[in-house]
């Protein structure tokens, strides 16, 4: 099989399989801070999504393509944990290959990222549109602005941005096509109606100060799904960085 179709994975530790899926513009190195701790309790599988990091040569044209690429070398059964855009991908896998998902964990993620007037909180469509336009002109600057946006509001914002930046820069830069596809998915995908059909345990984790996935989303979904979510009080969009220990403790207790 051509190496161009295989994704890069890093595997650590022993125990129940746990897959970590990064978000837009990032790569698997973002999990570096939590892998050491989580790998004491799980066999942790960290993927670079198609077009990102060490998988920057792998192409995809849809969320189904991305999910298929990940499934190709993912363990047969695992806990799937997706951060931000990664949460949409983990949810897609849970919808279409439910037998492979023991538990679904979404972190700072939403079944619909794009805001819908006053009825649904999220990222203003104009912001997503601006990012798409800016990508073509200033590739690296756009990713850096997105990192700043992710950390905004967090008490450890400066530290969070530093960590996100060093993770991204430690691996090859993302492929522009993958970045465009990611923004398109954030702007268009709506999985709200599918959440009720999932049968595996679902854990939804949020940052109270998150400007990209407002905490109101958690409350609306709690009501709709008759479940409860966990809110990290001192975090914005990257609780696994801002509240690293609390995040690891919570995952170990799932």
| Whole-structure pTM value | 0.96
Residues of the chain with pLDDT under 50: 1-3
Q: Name the catalytic one among 8, 45, 92, 210.
A: 210
State the residue range of the domain holding 233: 3-252
Please state the domain count of the chain.
1
249 has catalytic annotation: no
CATH number at residue 16: 3.40.50.1820
32 has catalytic annotation: no
pLDDT at 2: 43
CB-side neighbour CA atoms (13 Å) of 56: 14
237 has catalytic annotation: yes
Q: Name the catalytic one among 60, 84, 110, 236.
A: 84
What DSSP line would sit under 148-214, residue for residue? HHHHTT-TTHHHHHHHHHHHHHTSPPPPHHHHHHHHHHHHH---GGGGGG--S-EEEEEETT-SSS-
pLDDT per residue over 26-62, tens digit each? 999 999 999 999 999 999 999 999 999 999 999 999 9
Assess contact for 2 and 59: CB atoms under 8 A.
Answer: no
């Amino acid at each position: 099989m051509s190496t161009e179709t295989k994704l890069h994975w890093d595997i650590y530790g022993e125990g129940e399989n746990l897959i970590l899926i990064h978000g837009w513009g990032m790569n698997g190195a973002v999990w570096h801070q939590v892998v050491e701790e989580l790998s004491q309790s799980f066999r942790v599988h960290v993927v670079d999504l198609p077009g990102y990091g060490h998988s920057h040569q792998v192409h995809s044209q849809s969320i189904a393509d991305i999910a298929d690429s990940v499934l190709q070398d993912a363990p047969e059964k695992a806990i799937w944990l997706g951060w931000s855009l990664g949460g949409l991908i983990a949810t897609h896998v849970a919808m279409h290959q439910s037998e492979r998902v023991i538990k679904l964990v979404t972190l700072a993620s939403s079944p619909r990222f794009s805001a819908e007037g006053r009825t649904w909180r999220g990222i203003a469509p104009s912001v997503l549109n601006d990012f798409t336009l800016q990508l073509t002109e200033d590739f690296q600057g756009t990713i850096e602005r997105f990192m700043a946006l992710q950390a905004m509001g967090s008490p450890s914002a400066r530290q969070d941005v530093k960590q996100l930046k060093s993770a991204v820069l430690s691996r090859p830069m993302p492929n522009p096509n993958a970045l465009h596809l990611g923004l398109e998915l954030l702007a268009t995908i709506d999985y709200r109606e599918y959440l009720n059909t999932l049968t595996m345990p679902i854990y939804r984790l949020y940052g109270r100060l998150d400007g990209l996935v407002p905490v109101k989303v958690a409350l609306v979904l709690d009501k709709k799904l008759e479940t409860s979510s966990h809110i990290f009080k001192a975090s914005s969009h990257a609780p696994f960085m801002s509240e690293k220990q609390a995040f690891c403790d919570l995952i170990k207790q799932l």
